[in-house]
Amino acid sequence: MELRDLLPAALVIVVAGIGISVGADITGDISADQTGTAQAVSQNATEGLAELGSWFDTLGLVIAAAVVLGVLMTAFYFRR
User: Each residue of 38-48: pLDDT tens digit?
Assistant: 999 989 999 99
Angstrom distance (rounded) from CA 76 to CA 15: 34
Task: Break the chain into its structural domains and give their ranges.
Answer: 3-77
Instruction: Report how far apart, in Å, the C-alpha atoms of 80 and of each of 1, 68, 74, 75, 77 are.
Output: 18, 20, 12, 10, 8
What's residue 80's pLDDT? 64
Angstrom distance (rounded) from CA 39 to CA 42: 5
pTM equals 0.68
